[in-house]
Amino acid sequence: MEKDFDRGELIRRALEQQPAAYAPYSGFYVSAAVLADSGEIYTGVNVENASYPAGICAERNAIAHAAACGERRIRAIAIVGGPGGENRDYCAPCGICRQVMREFCNPKEMRVLTAKSPEDFRERTLEELLPESFGPEDLIRE
């Protein structure tokens, strides 16, 4: 059964971290806050690189932060992003980030919040964003 959580707080944590994004090439500042099953919140920002493929998205950075602290299940993620750090639209996660999220959750239960502010956000399940996904259970051998 899904536990409720404070969506506004999760979004605020992402917004607080957004200025730390390193986006000298695109100027598109993204931040994410991940809520782990433990109740802890972990943040991450996008970090670009002159060799573009070497950069990392905020969502994967936040998930890696949680994993490095020993977390293995995430319940929700809040994502904010926009040019110059202005959140004019809802910043959806890329396909790679959706797949990384899938590694650490039940896609039917995980909540993905894309937000402009704590009061203005969209909420979906990961299953809605990544239908018919491939996950760890698909690799279990009997």
What does DSSP say about strands 111-115 and 74-83: parallel, antiparallel, or unpaired? parallel
Q: What φ, ψ does residue 106 adopt, rounded to 5°?
A: -95, 115
Q: What φ, ψ does residue 115 adopt, rounded to 5°?
A: -135, 150
User: For residue 26, what is the DSSP state?
Assistant: T
**Does the annotation mark 59 as catalytic?**
yes
Task: Please list the helix, strand and coil fractions of the chain in percent, rounded to the nearest 5, in that order.
Answer: 30, 25, 40
Q: What φ, ψ does residue 7 adopt, rounded to 5°?
A: -65, -40
- Name the active-site residue from 16, 40, 48, 59: 59
Instruction: Measure CA of the first residue to CA of the last residue in the chain; give whole Å.
Output: 28
Catalytically active residues, by annotation: 59
